[in-house]
Chains A and B, each alone.
Chain A
Amino acid sequence: MAEDLMLDTAIRDWVLIPLSIVMVLIGVLRYFVSKLMRTSQLPDSKIIKEGQLIIRARNLRAAANFIPPKAFRARKVYYTNEENGLLYVPKGQGQNPQAQMFSDPNMAMDMMKKNLSMIVPQTLTFAWVNFFFSGFVAAKIPFPLTQRFRSMLQNGIDLSTVDVSYVSGRSWYFLNLFGLRGLFSLILGEENATDDTQRMMQMSGFGFDPSKSLGAEKDGLDIVQHDWVLPKFEQRAEAVLRKRLS
C-alpha cells in the first residue's frame, strides 16, 4: 500500500507554508505581549527576603569546605538555631504563603493573564486550522507509523486505504507546535513564553517555594559534613609560586 500520491502544488503554497508562518508570527507576538504585560508586577518583599535567605544558605552549603571548621559551625548555628535561627519556620506559619498566594487578587490575576496569553492563541489557531484545513491530505511524514495513529493524524480523511503517512492539516499544526519550540529558543533568546511545559513547572513550583524549601535547606545544612580541604594551602601556594617562577 505504498503508492505515491501526487499532491497538488497549491497545497504546498497555501497550507504548509502559511500555517508555519502564522505560527511563527503568533509565537513572536505572544513573546512581545507577555514581555509587555510582565512589567506591571510588584514583587513581594517577604518572598524576596526568603528567596535570598535560601540562596545564602545554599551558598554556605556549597562552599562549606573552604572555610575553617569553627567559622562554618558558627554560620550553621546562625541559620539552623532552634529559637531564632533564620531557617526555622514553625509549622503554623509554613502554610501562610500558599494561602496568601491564592487569596491575593493581584497574583491570581497575574496567573490568569499568563494562562490566557498562552491558551487563547493556541485555541484560536487550532479552530482556524480545523475550519480551513480539514478534509484533505496536507503532508506526508517521511517515516511510517502504525495503524493506531491513523485516527489521530488523519481526522478529516475518511478513506481507510490511504497510507498513514499522509496526514491532514491538524497533524501539521501539532507538528509545528512542538517543533517550533526549538526555533523560538534560537530567535527569541531564552526568556520566551512559548514553552508550555516549562511554564507549567514554574507555576506549580511557585506556590510551595517559601515554606517547604526553608525546611529543606535547614535539613541540608544539618547533614553537611565539614571537611576542610585547605589546611595545607600555604604549601600549595608555595608550590604554585615555585612552578611559576622556575
Chain B
Amino acid sequence: MAGHDDSGASGKKSSENEVPTFNVENMQSNMKVVYYSRTFMSIIGGVIAGILGFTGLMGFVVYVLVMAITSVCLTAKAGFSIHSYFDSWNRVLMDGFLGGLLSFVLFWTFAYDIVHIF
C-alpha cells in the first residue's frame, strides 16, 4: 500500500456543459493517493537529507524540494489534465504539504544521527 501511484488515480466523470459533477468516492480515493505519496516521499526525503548531512535551513529547503517533485510527478501521472481527476489545482499542489513535515524531521534526525554522529 506504499502509495507511490501504483493504485492509479481514478477519473471523475464531469459533464461538458458548465456543470461540474464529481464522483465523491473517486475524488476521495484520489486524495488518498496524494496523501500516501506525500507521506512516503517525505520519509524518503528525510532519510536522504540525513544521509547527505544537511543541517538547518538547507534541510527544510530539501523538504520543500521533495514536495515540489512529488507535486510534479503527481501532475504528470494525472496526464496534466488536473480537472478530470481533482476539482482544483490546490488539491494536488498544496494539500498535505505540511502534513509530512513531522515524519520528515523524524527520519532526517534519525539518518543524520546514525550516519554523522557516530
Which residues of A pack against B, CB within 8 Å? 5-7, 9, 12, 16, 20, 65, 139-144, 172, 175-176, 178-183, 185-187, 189-190, 229, 236, 240
Contacts and interface: CB of A to CB of B under 8 A. Distances in A.
Contact of A175 (B35, B36, B105): B105
Given A5-B117, A16-B113, A142 B54 contact: yes
A16 B99 CA distance: 23
Nearest to B99: A182
B113 A9 contact: no
Interface stretch (B38-46, B72-80, B87-95): B38-46
A139 B2 contact: no
A7 B107 CA distance: 19
Q: State which size class the interface on B falls in.
A: 35 or more
B17 interface: yes
How would you classify the secondary structure of chain A's contact residues: helix, strand, loop or mixed? helix
Given A142-B54, A183-B103, A16 B39 contact: no
Contact of B1 (A179, A189, A240): A189
Given A20-B110, A142-B56, A185-B39, A179 B117 contact: no
Nearest to A232: B17
A6 B113 CA distance: 11
A12 B107 CA distance: 14
B53 to A, nearest CB: 8
Contact of A182 (B54, B59, B102, B113): B102
Nearest 4 CB-CB pairs, A to B?
A179-B106, A182-B103, A182-B39, A178-B102
Find the residue from A9, A65, A140 having the highest chain B CB count within 10 A: A140
Interface of B: 1-3, 16-19, 32, 35-36, 39-40, 42-43, 49-50, 54-57, 59-60, 99-100, 102-110, 112-114, 117-118
A179 B107 contact: yes
B114 A143 contact: no
Nearest to B118: A9
Nearest to A5: B117
B2 A179 contact: no
A172 B106 CA distance: 9
Contact of A16 (B19, B104, B110): B110
Contacts of A12: 113-114, 117-118
Nearest to A6: B117
Contacts of A139: 109, 113, 117
Find the residue from A139, A172, A179, A183 having the highest chain B CB count within 10 A: A179
26 contacts: A9-B118, A16-B113, A139-B117, A140-B112, A140-B117, A141-B105, A142-B109, A142-B112, A143-B55, A143-B56, A143-B59, A175-B105, A175-B106, A178-B102, A179-B106, A179-B107, A182-B42, A182-B43, A182-B103, A186-B3, A186-B39, A186-B40, A186-B43, A187-B1, A229-B18, A229-B19
